[in-house]
Amino acid sequence: MSGHAEPETGPILASDGTPLKKRLARSLRMQKLRALALIAPLLIFVLVTFIAPIADMLFRSVENEIVSNTLPDTVAAVSDWDPKAQELPSEPVYQALYFDLFLAAEAKEHTKLGTRLNYEQVGISSLFRTSGRKLDDIGKVYEKWLIGLNPAWKSGEFWNELMRGAASAAPDTDLLAEQRARLTALTDDPMQQDIGFVPGSEIARILPLTAREYTANALFIAIDKNRDISKRGPWEAVYTALAVDLGDPEVQRAISGYQGPGSDELRAAAAAIDTAPPRDFTAAMIKVDKDWAKPENIQAIKIYSGKYTAGYYLNAIDMQKTLDGVSERPENQQIYMMLFGRTLFMSLLITFSCILLGYPVAWILANLPLRTSNLLMILVLLPFWTSLLVRTSAWKVMLQQQGVINDTLVWLGLLDDASRLIMINNQFGTIVAMTHILLPFMILPLYSVMQTIPPSYLRAAKSLGATNWTAFWRVYFPQSIPGIGAGSILVFILAIGYYITPEIVGGTTGTFISNRIAFHISSSLNWGLGAALGTILLAAVLALYWTYDKIVGIDNVKLGG
Amino acid sequence: MAQLTSVSRTSPAFYVSTTAAAGGIAGLLVGTAQGNSLIGLILGAAIMAVTAYAVTHFVPQERIARWAILGAMALAGILLGGVAGLVVGTAFGWFFGWFIYWLYESRYRKKIPPYLTPGQVLWHHGFRVICGLIFFFLIAPIVVVMPLSFNAEDFFTFTPEMLRFDPAGYSLKHYKDFFTSSDWQHSLWNSLSIAPAATLLSVSFGTLAAIGLSSEHVPFRRSIMAILISPMIVPLIISAAGMFFFYSRIGLQGTYFGVVLAHAALGIPFVIITVTATLVGFDRSLTRASANMGAGPIRTFFKVQMPLILPGVISGGLFAFITSFDEVVVVLFVGSAGQKTLPWQMFTGLREQISPTILAVATILVSISILLLTTIELLRRRSERLRGMSPG
C-alpha cells in the first residue's frame, strides 16, 4: 500500500480493520500456496522418478570421465605431445601409462576403459586386455634385481618400515589423501577406511614415485583385498618405481644423507644402479604389445581424454573425432544415419497409411446416425484398449509363413504351397502391424474434428453446383485438416519411438532407432552412445510435440472416451 | 433411416447381370480352391444368373426364395467341402439371397437422396464396402487369436481338424498350461502385485495434484502441466533408458519398488488428464457451501468433492492400472528376472520360444480389456449424468 491515501476517502477496511485490498491479496496468496501445496507431492514425485532419469540420460550422453579417471597421469603427460608429428610420444608418456595401467589392471578397471575406447578406435580393447595380463612382466625384472642385491627387499615388513620412515618423521597425509582420491576415481569406491599406514614425509620427498605407488598399493590391498601390506612384499610397480627413482641423480644425492630405516639398503641399491635392467618404458610397453607402437592408439587416449565429450553424439551421426577435427566414419561403420532415415521414412509411411485408412472410417463414423456409429466405434476402441502385445502377437499369427493369411491364400489356391509370401521379419511386417496398432490414434482425433463439421456445408456446396469431388475437396477436406494434423503428429510421435512391435515383427530390415538404443543399453553396454541416440530421438519428439501443442494444444489430448 | 427415395423394381437385365458378376467372383474362389478357376467362374456366373431370374419370376414370396437359396448353397457346400464347405456355402447362400432382392427391389436406393446419379450410388455403396474392409482390418487380428487359443496342437495356425470343426481339434490345454506353468503364474502374480501398487501411488498423488491444478490461481500452470504430462509424451524406450541409468545409480534397478515407482510415473498423466477433465464440470460453490455449513477442508473433500469426482478418479485409476499392467519396455530395463511381468513373459515368448500359451493369455487379456472398456464407458456416462449433461 502506498500510504498516499487521504484519510477521508481511505481504503475500504475488512472486518478486522486491515485494508480490504491487503486482505484480498493475502487470501489470493493463500489460495496459490494451497494449490501449490496440493501439487507439490506429485511434482516432486515426477521430478524424482521421471525427470531426473531423463536428465541422467542427457548427462551420460556427454560424460567421459573414465579416461581421465583410469589414466590420470597419462592424460596429463600426453597433453603436450603433438600427434601430427607422426612420432611416438616421449618416454614420460609411456612411463605414466605403465603406472596408470598397472593400477587399473590390479583393480580390474582396465578392460572397461578398453571397451570404452574401442567404440572410437577398433582393436584397442584387446590391446588393453593383453597389456593387463602381461604388465607384471615389466616389473618382475626390477624385483629380481633388488632381491638379488639384498633379500631384505622381499620382506613386506622391511618395505613398510622404509616407507613409514623414522618414528620421529612427520607423516605425509597429503600423499595418502591424494592416492585415496586416485583410487576413488578409478574404482568408484569411496576408499575411506583407515588402513593403519601413512607414508613418512621425508622418504616421500626423497623417493616420490616409490612412495606414491607404495601408498596406492597399501590402500588397495588394505581396502579392496582386506590384507595388511606389511605381510607381503609390494607389487611389481613399486619395485619398478624404486628402480626409476634410484636412477635419478637427485635421488641418489638425497639418499646419501638419509638416516631413516632402510637407508643402508637404499644406498647399496643406489650404488648398484648400473647393474639394474634398463628403465625404458617405451620399449617395455611395445614388448608387452606391439600395438603400443602405433601412434593412433595413444592418439585415441589423447582425443578422448576430456571429462566431457561430444564423441557419443558424433558417433550417433556416423562421425568421429580426429586430429583434424570432425570427419565421417569409415563407410562400413556408418549405420545410424541410415537407421534414423529408416525410422523417419517408415514412420512417415505408417502415418500416411493411417491417414489413408483412418479418414474414410472417421468420415463414416461422423456421418452415420449416432446409434450405428457408437456400435462401430467399439470396433475402433476394442483394438485401442487391447494390450499391445496381444495385437503384436496377433500380427505374428497372421503374417507368418505358416500363418493365417498364407494358409488362407494357399487354401483358396491363390498361392502355391511352396511360394508362401514372406510378410514378417521385414519392413512390410512392421508397417502393417504398426499401422493397425496406431490406426485408432488417427481415427479418434479425426472423428472428433469431423463431428464438428456441419453436413449442411457439403449440401450447400453441391446445391451451388459443385460436383461431389469439388464439394469434398474444396469444402469438407480443408475443414478436416486440423484433425489430420493432430492425428498425424500423434501417430508420428508414437511411431518413431516404437520398440516392441519392430522388435518382434521387424526382423533385421524393419527395426527402428529405438531397437538400436535398447541394443546399446542391454547388449553392447555402450551406454553413452545409447544415451546420445536417445537424446537425439527425444529432441525430435519434443520438437514435434511442440508443433502439436501449437496446432491443437496440450489440453486437447483425448483418450478416446 | 426413413426412406428417402421412392423406388420401383429394377429391370432383369440389371439385377441378373450384376448377380451373375458377383456369382462369377464367388465361383472363381470356389473353383480355384477345387482346382479349376475358369470352370468355377463360368459355372458360378451361370448358376447365379439363372437363380436370380428364377426366384424373381417364379417364387412369389421373398422369404421362401431366400431360404431356398440358402439351403441349396449350404447343401452344395457340404458336398464340396464337408463342414467347412457348409459354413462357406451358408454364408454365400445368405449373401446371394439378400443381394438378389436388394438389387431387385431397388433397396440400395431407398435410403439415399433421390438426386444421386447411378455413379454416385455406386460410390456410396463402394465406400461402405471399403470402410467395412478397414473395420475388418482393425478387428480381424484380435478375433482370429481367440479361436486359435483353443487349438489342440502347438501351432500358431488353424489345423485341418479345427477347420472341420472336429472337437478333437480343440482343447483347453493352453489355458491349462497358463494356469499350471510356474513361469506364467509367477509373472501373473508379479503383474498383479505391481499394477495395483503403481495405480495407488499415481491415483493418490494425481488426484491431489489435479485438484490443485484446477484451482483458479496456480502460478506456472503450463510448465507444471507439461512436466506432469511428460511421461506420456516421451517415447517409452527413452523413459526406460533414463530410468535404467538413474535407478541403477540409486540402487532401485531390479527391485520391486523401482518398477512400482517407474510404473506410477507412467500412469500419472492419465490420472491427471481424466481427473482434471472431471473437475472442469465441478461446481465450486458446493465446496463453499460445505465450508459455510462448518465442514473442514478434509471433511469437504471426502464428503462433497470426492463422491462427485469419483467416476473420474476411478477411470483415471483404470487407465493407470492398464498402463502398468500392459507395460513392457520400462519393466524390461528397470526390472530384473524377479519382477518378470505378464507382458514381459509374453514378449520373451514371442521372441524366443513360440508357444500358443501366449494366445490363451492374449484371449484372457482381450476379455479383460472388453470388461475395462465397458466399465470406463459406464463411468463416463455416470459422470456426465451427475454433471447434468446428456451422455453422448
Q: Where along chain B do its domains lie?
A: 12-115, 181-386
Instruction: Give the mean pLDDT of B51-67.
Output: 87
Q: Work out the burial of residue A558: count CB atoms within 10 Å of its CB; fewer than 13 is exposed, 13-18 middle, 19 or more buried.
A: middle
Inter-residue contact B45 to B37 (CB < 8 Å):
no
Q: What does residue B328 show for φ and ψ, rounded to 5 degrees?
A: -130, -35
Q: Which residues of A touch B32 (CB under 8 A)?
A: 412-414
Please report, for residues A29, A118, A250, B288, the alpha-carbon distance to residue B301 in angstroms, rounded to integers and kept in the order given.
Answer: 21, 60, 82, 11
pLDDT higher than threshold 90 for residue A359? yes
Q: Do A45 and B265 touch (CB under 8 A)?
A: yes
Inter-residue contact A316 to A120 (CB < 8 Å):
no
Of residues A309, A317, A304, A315, the one with CA closest to residue A63: A309
SS3 A505: helix
The closest CB to that of B120, out of A31, A395, A468, belongs to A468
Inter-residue contact A440 to A384 (CB < 8 Å):
yes
User: From CA A281, how far away is CA A284, in angstroms rounded?
Assistant: 5
User: From CA A70, how far away is CA A67, in angstroms rounded?
Assistant: 5
Work out the pLDDT band at B246, boundaries 50, 70, 90: very high
Inter-residue contact B151 to B368 (CB < 8 Å):
no
The pLDDT tens digits for A114-137 are 888 888 888 888 899 888 888 888
B residues 242..271 contacting A (CB < 8 A): 242-247, 249, 261-262, 264-265, 268, 270
Q: Do B217 and A37 touch (CB under 8 A)?
A: no
Q: Do A388 and B245 touch (CB under 8 A)?
A: no
Instruction: Give the mean pLDDT of B227-248.
Output: 92
Helix (H) or strand (E) holding A327: strand A325-328
Q: How many interchain CB pairs under 8 A, A with B?
A: 281
pLDDT higher than threshold 60 for residue B392? no
B residues 272..301 contacting A (CB < 8 A): 273-274
Inter-residue contact A430 to A506 (CB < 8 Å):
yes
The pLDDT tens digits for B297-320 are 889 888 888 888 888 898 889 889
The predicted structure's pLDDT at residue A559:
41
Work out the pLDDT band at B391, boundaries 50, 70, 90: very low
Q: Work out the burial of residue B67: count CB atoms within 10 Å of its CB; fewer than 13 is exposed, 13-18 middle, 19 or more buried.
A: middle
Nearest chain A residue to B324 by CA: give it: A387
User: From CA B356, how far away is CA B349, in angstroms rounded?
Assistant: 9
Instruction: Give the mean pLDDT of A52-64.
Output: 93
| B369–chain A nearest CA distance, Å | 6
pLDDT higher than threshold 50 for residue A558? no
Inter-residue contact A526 to A520 (CB < 8 Å):
yes
Q: Do A43 and B370 touch (CB under 8 A)?
A: no
B residues 207..226 contacting A (CB < 8 A): 208-209, 211-213, 215-219, 222, 224-226
More confident residue, B98 or A414: B98
Backbone dihedral region for residue A306 (phi beyond 0: left; psi -120 to 50: alpha; all else: beta): beta
CATH 1.20.120.1200 for domain B181-386: no
Residue A85 sits at the chain B interface (C-beta within 8 Å):
no
A residues 411..470 contacting B (CB < 8 A): 411-414, 436, 439-440, 468
Q: Do B247 and A37 touch (CB under 8 A)?
A: no
pLDDT higher than threshold 70 for residue B233? yes
| Most confident residue range from A50-54, A465-469, B44-48, B356-360 | A50-54
Please report, for residues A9, A247, B23, B61, B108, the alpha-carbon distance to residue B94 in angstroms, rounded to integers and kept in the order given.
Answer: 90, 104, 13, 16, 17
In this structure, are strands A319-322 and A325-328 parallel, antiparallel, or unpaired?
A: antiparallel
More confident residue, A524 or B237: B237
pLDDT higher than threshold 50 for residue A339? yes
Inter-residue contact A175 to A212 (CB < 8 Å):
yes
User: From CA A113, how far away is CA A136, in angstroms rounded?
Assistant: 19
pLDDT higher than threshold 60 for residue A554? no
Retrieve residue B96's grid coordinates: 446371394
Nearest chain A residue to B260 by CA: give it: A49
Inter-residue contact A156 to A231 (CB < 8 Å):
yes
Output DSSP code: residue A119.
Answer: T
Work out the pLDDT band at A357, boundaries 50, 70, 90: very high
SS3 B170: strand
Q: Which domains does chain A have, with CATH numbers?
A: 74-298 (no CATH), 336-389+433-556 (1.10.3720.10)
Retrieve residue A314's grid coordinates: 558424433
| B160–chain A nearest CA distance, Å | 11
The predicted structure's pLDDT at residue B257:
94
Give me chain B's average pLDDT, please.
86
Backbone dihedral region for residue A377 (phi beyond 0: left; psi -120 to 50: alpha; all else: beta): alpha
The closest CB to that of B241, out of A357, A394, A521, belongs to A521
Give me chain A's average pLDDT, please.
86
Instruction: Give the mean pLDDT of B363-369.
Output: 87
Output DSSP code: residue A171.
Answer: B
Work out the pLDDT band at A556, boundaries 50, 70, 90: low
Inter-residue contact A397 to B171 (CB < 8 Å):
no
pLDDT higher than threshold 80 for residue B180? yes
Please report, for residues A481, B182, B266, B326, B361, the alpha-carbon distance to residue B188 in angstroms, rounded to integers and kept in the order given.
Answer: 44, 10, 20, 12, 10
Work out the pLDDT band at A40, boundaries 50, 70, 90: very high
The closest CB to that of B141, out of A36, A398, A541, belongs to A398
Work out the pLDDT band at A424, boundaries 50, 70, 90: confident
Please report, for residues A152, A346, B116, the alpha-carbon distance to residue A510 in angstroms, rounded to integers and kept in the order given.
Answer: 68, 9, 46
User: From CA B376, how far away is CA A367, in angstroms rounded?
Assistant: 25
The C-alpha cell 523417419 sits at A344
The closest CB to that of A390, out of B205, B351, B366, belongs to B366
pLDDT higher than threshold 70 for residue A5? no
The predicted structure's pLDDT at residue B264:
95
User: How many degrees, rounded to 5, is the angle at CA B355 between CA B350 and CA B358?
Assistant: 65
> Of A45-54, A428-437, A522-531, which range is least confident?
A522-531
Q: Do B241 and A57 touch (CB under 8 A)?
A: yes
Residue from B237, B287, B350 whose CB has the most chain A CBs within 10 Å, to mutate: B237
Residue A41 sits at the chain B interface (C-beta within 8 Å):
yes
